Amino acid sequence: MKATRWLPAVAPLCLVFLIGADRAPAQTNVAAAERQSRAWLDAFNGTNRAVFLRFLEAEYPSRDKADDALHFRDLTGGLDFRKSLASTPTRFSGLVQERDSDQFLRFDLEVENTEPHHITRLDFEQAARPPEFAIPRLPEAEFVPALRAKLEKDAAAGRFSGAVFVTRNGKAILAGAYGLADREKAIPNKLNTRFRIGSMNKMFTATTTLQLVQAGRMQLEDHVGKYIPDYPNKDIADKVTIHHLLTHTGGTGEIFGPQFAAHRKELKTLQDYVNLFGARGPLFEPGSEFRYSNYGMVLLGVIIENATGGSYYDYVRDHIYQPAGMERTGSLAEDEEVPDRAIGYTWRDGTWKPNTDTLPYRGTSAGGGYSTVEDLVNFASALKATKLLNPHYTDLLTTGKVEMPMEGAKYAYGFEETIADGVRYFGHGGGAPGVSGGLRIYPESGYVFVVLSNIDAGANRISQFIRNRLPVTGNR
């Protein structure tokens, strides 16, 4: 069983193929690892399925893994070599670009050090786009039709299923829905379809926390133990602060893994997560490093409940959703009927399957709820108009504080702030099996975009396409 992962949509993609290869003709001036890299890439990009399968079966006969490789080819449209990074006789590293997206991948290939130099390892990992391959931004009159064409192409190829909404200064410039919300019943996605949003719930939890700080009902320097006095682990209770939880610097660890899988349907309240994971100590000295922690955001939900004396879900509904006009957003349990809630589909065993057996009993303060593209634009508008927080706390909420692994990115309070090519934007993504989404707010140009999808990583490449081409101030 796959564990649900409420992670940012920008989290690194890592695909690993341990494969063999037909022998390429000897090239005395090319090292074996580079020669095998070329051979693999040629086979991967070929249109003949049987040829590619024979290529893989030389040292990797599992049909399931071969089908995953073929799915990767369908997803990317193939890979074009762009740049060498390192080369030895047994290892070759370089950059490739997906043919049907802006995404660059770093690959590392290793071969045996003796003839016939079988490939022993081939890893792919998401990489930043090198400056020499920068994509020019488009004026709005060109951007909109370019994005629409991209959406139609990816939807037709099965690479995107979901909804997109782009606005400037509150005015819609593009809105559309693609693919199926329910494949068995052939129900199409619509703009008001409720998609599960993964980690995007963290924005609501953080905004709620800052509301309580603004109101003087808690302080960022307060420790966990002040609000959960019976917390099982003393180090977490006495050393981890609200600030640490908001910035993933508390060392509070993850919730996904064997324990979650074993108790998935039993974890019905936020306190249930504390009962299961609360005895653990911090993974590192609180405040010393950034390490993404869904459990830390669950703790914030418990703290909000104890500070307000009520349900986290009710408080967020009353203080975030209602004032922002988010009428179709929530976290009702999976066994409750929710009209227009899309089914998520994850790639497994060579086909798309419902993600039902990965879902928690109910979304939490860390993620797992549902929303619509229209509701999320309303959230962005309310935030920008300081309807949820005053200007000082809105700025505090969305300004980066801790360096993240991605270049130009910092984690704020439940938001990610990025400065790329001199353009600042903030928001948050969400991803899990059959779940993908992202909200990005551009305060200088007035643009906001939301992409939600009900297939694995379906929103990621569309979001990237938008980020790379969206006009900047004065270029509309």
Q: How far apart are CA 76 and CA 97, in angstroms?
A: 9
- pLDDT digits 0-9 by tens, 64-96: 567 778 888 889 999 999 999 999 999 999 999
Residues 450 and 430 sit within 8 Å (Cβ to Cβ):
no
Residue 17: its pLDDT value, please? Answer: 37
Rounded average pLDDT over 173-195: 98
Type of residue found at 463: S
Residue 47: its pLDDT value, please? Answer: 79
Bridge-partner residues for 347, per DSSP?
352
Residues 295 and 252 sit within 8 Å (Cβ to Cβ):
yes
Give the mean pLDDT of the chain.
Answer: 91
Q: How far apart are CA 105 and CA 379, in angstroms?
A: 33
Residues 173 and 148 sit within 8 Å (Cβ to Cβ):
no
Residues 305 and 270 sit within 8 Å (Cβ to Cβ):
yes
Strands 162-168 and 171-178: antiparallel
Domain map of the chain by residue range?
Answer: 14-133, 137-476
Q: How far apart are CA 369 and CA 361, in angstroms?
A: 11
Residues 311 and 305 sit within 8 Å (Cβ to Cβ):
yes
368 contacts: CB under 8 Å, gap ≥ 6: 4, 6, 196, 198, 201, 331, 359, 360, 362, 432
Residue 473 has pLDDT above 70, yes or no: no
User: What percent of the chain lies above the pLDDT cut of 90?
Assistant: 80
Bridge-partner residues for 341, per DSSP?
194
Residue 233 has pLDDT above 50, yes or no: yes
Rounded average pLDDT over 450-456: 97
Residue 224: its pLDDT value, please? Answer: 98
- Residue with token string 């109910």: 362
Rounded average pLDDT over 331-355: 95
| CA nearest neighbour of 197 among 379, 368, 406 | 368
Rounded average pLDDT over 375-385: 98
Residue 34: its pLDDT value, please? Answer: 94
| CA nearest neighbour of 255 among 6, 1, 2 | 6
Binned at pLDDT 50, 70 and 90, residue 274 comes out as very high
Q: What is the assigned CATH class of domain 137-476? A: alpha beta
Rounded average pLDDT over 298-324: 98
Q: How far apart are CA 398 and CA 440, in angstroms?
A: 11
| Cβ atoms within 10 Å of 359's Cβ, excluding its own | 21
Q: Tell me, what DSSP letter sits at residue 232?
A: S
- pLDDT digits 0-9 by tens, 100-145: 999 999 999 999 898 888 888 889 999 989 999 999 999 999 999 9
Binned at pLDDT 50, 70 and 90, residue 322 comes out as very high
Residue 7: its pLDDT value, please? Answer: 40
- pLDDT digits 0-9 by tens, 6-17: 444 333 333 433
359 contacts: CB under 8 Å, gap ≥ 6: 4, 196, 264, 334, 344, 368
| Cβ atoms within 10 Å of 378's Cβ, excluding its own | 21
Residue 238 has pLDDT above 70, yes or no: yes
| CA nearest neighbour of 284 among 234, 236, 246, 247 | 236
What sign has the CA pseudo-torsion 314, 339, 414, 173?
negative
What sign has the CA pseudo-torsion 59, 64, 69, 73?
positive
- pLDDT digits 0-9 by tens, 24-62: 334 445 799 998 899 889 989 987 888 888 877 775 544
What sign has the CA pseudo-torsion 193, 198, 204, 205?
positive
Residue 454 has pLDDT above 60, yes or no: yes
| CA nearest neighbour of 366 among 266, 262, 253 | 253
Strands 435-441 and 409-411: unpaired
Structure tokens at 157: 């190829």
In Å, how far are 65, 83, 179, 275 from 437, measured between CA atoms?
Answer: 27, 30, 15, 30
Residue 413 has pLDDT above 70, yes or no: yes
3-class DSSP state of 294:
helix
Residue 22: its pLDDT value, please? Answer: 35
| CA nearest neighbour of 286 among 365, 223, 231 | 223
Type of residue found at 359: L
